[in-house]
Amino acid sequence: MWKWINSFAKPEKAYWLCDVLQSWFAGVAIVSLIVGIIWGLGYAPSDYQQGDSFRIIYIHVPSAILAMGAYVAMAIGALVGIVWQWRTAFMFMIAIAPVGAVMTFISLFTGSFWGKPMWGTWWIWDARLTSQLILLFLYLGVISLYTAFEDKQQAGKAAGVMAMVGVINIPIIHYSVEWWNTLHQGATITKIGKPSIAPEMLWPLLICILGFAAFIGWTTIIRMKNEIILRDLHRPWVAEKFGGLELDSSETDNSEKDSSKLGGK
């Protein structure tokens, strides 16, 4: 079993897996987002207090939840890359980082639009909002640190350490509404027991969450495939697959340097 899992440390095997999964993630994302958003925005009943303004929940909640989920996935990729020295794990880490950053920005942006009619202000230094903003800075920090190094293997290690340290912010985001007195409402669908949301509102929300998750997977796969090709253009398997692509000498030197440090893994 471990031998099979370890085979995905090879870029050509990882690329093959991305090819297999891409169409599945794309299909689930497209269908789920269309169904969930149309159902939620057009057919779910209005909230008895917030009216139709609550419908932003079908964008805000999935983006907020999955911004945290994407960060955890990024940190796991960093851990695998550092402990087992998988180049593909670092490729995954940097592939998902911008996607997670965009999800975090969407959650903050939609949260501001939701907060204005509910709280009377676009922004307040609430515990949940502040910790979510820190999450965005952590994503941007990982991306910036990775791009600061020419040696991408060293870049992956440095950015990976930052990604793993930043995981401490995830439980802070999740429990902030319980640990501090905040304006942000408490848990609805993630609390133990019966969710405090009507089923006719809950189901389109769950479908939207599935759609956002699949969309993150889809875009991450596309980005990872690009990263694999850029890092492995000098390898024979890439030439065979794409008919003799050429890489500029500086990028080839960097890629060969990365490979030599891992014994060609």
Residue ranges of the domains in the chain? 22-231, 234-265
Percent of the chain whose predicted confidence (pLDDT) is above 90:
61
Instruction: Examine the pLDDT at 107 and tell me if it is beyond 90.
Output: yes
Burial of 237 (0-12, 13-18, 19+ CB in 10 A): middle
SS3 content of the chain, % helix, strand, coil (to 5): 80, 0, 20
The dihedrals phi and psi of 243, each to the nearest 5 degrees, come to 75, 45
Tell me the C-alpha distance between 215 and 128, whole Å. Answer: 25
Contacts of residue 167, Cβ cutoff 8 Å, sequence gap at least 6: 71, 72, 75
User: Each residue of 199-210: pLDDT tens digit?
Assistant: 899 999 999 999
Return the higher-pLDDT residue of 76 and 261. 76
The mean pLDDT value of the chain amounts to 87
Tell me the C-alpha distance between 56 and 43, whole Å. Answer: 14
The dihedrals phi and psi of 47, each to the nearest 5 degrees, come to -75, 145
User: Each residue of 110-138: pLDDT tens digit?
Assistant: 999 888 887 788 888 888 899 999 999 99
Closest listed residue to residue 166, CA positions, set 142, 130, 148, 133: 142
Residue 184: per-residue pLDDT: 62
Tell me the C-alpha distance between 11 and 195, whole Å. Answer: 42
- pTM given for the model: 0.86
Residue 250: per-residue pLDDT: 46
Quick one: pLDDT band at residue 264, thresholds 50, 70, 90? very low
Span 124-153, average pLDDT: 94
Closest listed residue to residue 100, CA positions, set 152, 170, 188, 49: 170
How far is residue 227 from each of residues 105, 144, 231, measured CA to CA in Å? 23, 16, 6
User: Each residue of 59-104: pLDDT tens digit?
Assistant: 999 999 999 999 999 999 999 999 999 999 999 999 999 999 999 9
Burial of 206 (0-12, 13-18, 19+ CB in 10 A): middle
Residue 192: per-residue pLDDT: 46
User: Each residue of 214-237: pLDDT tens digit?
Assistant: 999 999 999 999 999 999 888 888
User: Each residue of 12-54: pLDDT tens digit?
Assistant: 999 999 999 999 999 999 999 999 999 999 999 988 778 788 8
Task: Say which amino acid occupies 69.
Answer: G
Return the higher-pLDDT residue of 213 and 2. 213
Task: Say which amino acid occupies 171.
Answer: P
